[in-house]
Structures are given as C-alpha cells and as structure tokens.
Copies of this chain bind each other. A is one copy, B any other.
Amino acid sequence: MITEKKDTREAILQLGAELIQQVGYNAFSYADIAKKLDIKNAAVHYHFPGKADLYENIVEGHIHNYTVLSQQMAQEDIPAKAKLERIFTRYGNLVDCDRICVIGAIASDYKTLPEKVRTKVATLVELVLKIVEKTLQEGKKNGEFTFKESARVQSLLIMTNLSAGVQLARITGKKDFETIRKSILKQLYS
C-alpha cells in the first residue's frame, strides 16, 4: 500500500478543512471526501453526522490550536514582532496553498449554519483578535510598535487586512497579499 493507514477521523478533518478553504463550504459533498479517502460515504457520516458537525469540529480544532498558541506566547520572552509574524505566516501559508482562512471560507454561508456552530465561529474570531491585541499591546509597551488606535481596534484593522488579503490574493494575485503584509508591519514600525 502506498498511503499508510492514517486515522480516518483525522483524515476527514484535514481534507474537509482543505476543501472548505479551497472551494467553500457548500461546494463539496461527503461523496468527494469519501472518494478521495477511498472510504464509503456512510463512513464520513459515521464520524460527522452532518456537514455542520464536520465544520464545527474543524473550528474546534482551530480554537484549540490558537488557545495553545496563545498560552505559548504568554510564556515566551521574544520580540512582539516575532509573535505577530507567527500569525502573519499562517495567513501567508494559506496564500501559498490557494486557500482562504477557515472563517472567511464560511463568511458567505455563515447565516445558513446552525446557531451552535455560529457561536463557535464567533469564539474563534474573538480568540484570534485577542491574541493579536495582546501582542500589539506588548509591542507598544516595550517600544517595538507604534499605533494610534487602541490595541483592540488595531487588531481589528490588521485582521481584516489579513483575512481579506488572502481572499484578494486568489483574485488579483499573491503580490497583493505581500504588499498588505509588508505595509502593516511598516506602519507598526513608523
């Protein structure tokens, strides 16, 4: 066998995220997942009864990852810039893989999601905003960053730049994301 047997649940989550971020929540089916993983349709339903459950678990994974990242960052004694760039790198990677972020990927479909899932998406958004806010605050305190707005507002501005930046990159080209990325950092250092 060429592909070693991975944990099916984990494989579905990974592929699901990939599909959602590449073609959108409503543009793929469980059949697509089943075909690619060489399992049956019902096997996908076994792990995630419905698509919303799958997406919910993907969001939960992100919440977990960002929670861990947040805790790591709180302990590390490195420049705020290095911390911020970790976030930037994540979005840069999305651009390289022709993906958009997990939240932007369902921005259009958001209203069709069950309340329970929408709440989790909101939690993830606030979590990421908070991480960036803290990092900005830290960078301002130690003299690394300069910005006039509150850290919260600056976080909003930067995260909207990044998330729409990855969306834009697929339409007008990857250079636009790089431009945005560099400009944000430049502004923080001015």
Please state if B105 and A108 are interface contacts (CB–CB under 8 Å).
yes
Flag A2-26 by CB within 8 Å of B: 1 or 0 each.
0000000000000000001111111
A side interface size, CB within 8 A:
49
Q: CA separation between A148 and B186, bound complex, in Å? A: 10
Comparing A65-73, A135-143, A169-177, the segment that makes contact with chain B is A169-177
Q: Which of B104, B109, B160, B165 contacts A23 (CB 8 A)?
A: B109
Please state if A168 and B125 are interface contacts (CB–CB under 8 Å).
yes
Please state if A170 and B111 are interface contacts (CB–CB under 8 Å).
yes
Oligomer copy total: 2
Within 8 Å CB of A26, what residues of B? 24-27, 109
Within 8 Å CB of A98, what residues of B? 111
Q: CA separation between A103 and B164, bound complex, in Å? A: 10
**What residue in chain B is nearest A106 (Cβ atoms)?**
B108
Flag A122-161 by CB within 8 Å of B: 1 or 0 each.
1001100000000000000000000011000100110111
Flag A86-109 by CB within 8 Å of B: 1 or 0 each.
000000000000101001111111
Known contacts A156-B176, A161-B160, A161-B161; is A107 also within 8 Å of B167 by CB? yes
Please state if B103 and A107 are interface contacts (CB–CB under 8 Å).
no
Q: Which of B104, B179, B180, B187 contacts A107 (CB 8 A)?
A: B104
Known contacts A110-B171, A111-B170; is A180 also within 8 Å of B157 by CB? yes
Task: Name the 5 nearest CB pairs between A and B, nearest first.
Answer: A24-B108, A26-B26, A160-B164, A164-B164, A107-B167
